[in-house]
Amino acid sequence: MNAPSIPTGTREALGRARDQAEATLSALGGTVEELAHEVVGKVEENLPVLAERAGRLAGQAEAVAGAAAATALERLDEGVLTARRELAARIDPDTPSSRRWWWIGAGLLVTALSIVGWFVLSRRPQPVEQATEPPTTNPPGDVDVETGSPAGVTRTGHS
């Protein structure tokens, strides 16, 4: 296969275009490098401000998410409670009676009456027998009335 031949003038024009493209690319590479350094400097300069803004936004997002979660939990609790009440109403449609309170009241009344009765009965005066005077007897003749010992016995420590 024979390749078509390119005229000499065209080859020289292509060579010059290639040289100009390389020079332009080199110049563009330098400019891009300068812009990259400039961007890095601006980012480093503004990084604390950006970090602070990001922190505030994260805090606000957390607050909004927390409020949404709390609201969702409240609604869920209300829904569960409503469902439980509906299920209980379907299982046992009768309303609960208040008979239990009557029995509690009756028990408290009986207890109070028992306590009052106990106080009344425990304070009732008991009959007291009249004490009679002890009989008087005359001591035997050989006992000294003042000392209470037989006459003629001296106290020596022996009986």
Looking at residue 115, what is its pLDDT? 93
Whether residue 136 is predicted with pLDDT greater than 90 in this model: the reply is no
pTM, two decimals, is 0.29
What is the rounded average pLDDT of the residues 25-45? 86
Q: Report angle CA 104, 106, 108 to the nearest 5 degrees.
A: 70
Residue 144, SS3 per DSSP: coil
- Euclidean distance between CA atoms 12 and 76, whole angstroms: 81
DSSP secondary structure letters along 80-120 = HHHHHHHHHHHH--SPPPSHHHHHHHHHHHHHHHHHHHHHH
Whether residue 7 is predicted with pLDDT greater than 90 in this model: the reply is no
Instruction: State percent of the chain over pLDDT 70.
Output: 78
Q: Where residue 1 falls among pLDDT bands split at 50, 70, 90?
A: very low
Mean pLDDT of the chain: 80
What is the rounded average pLDDT of the residues 133-157? 61
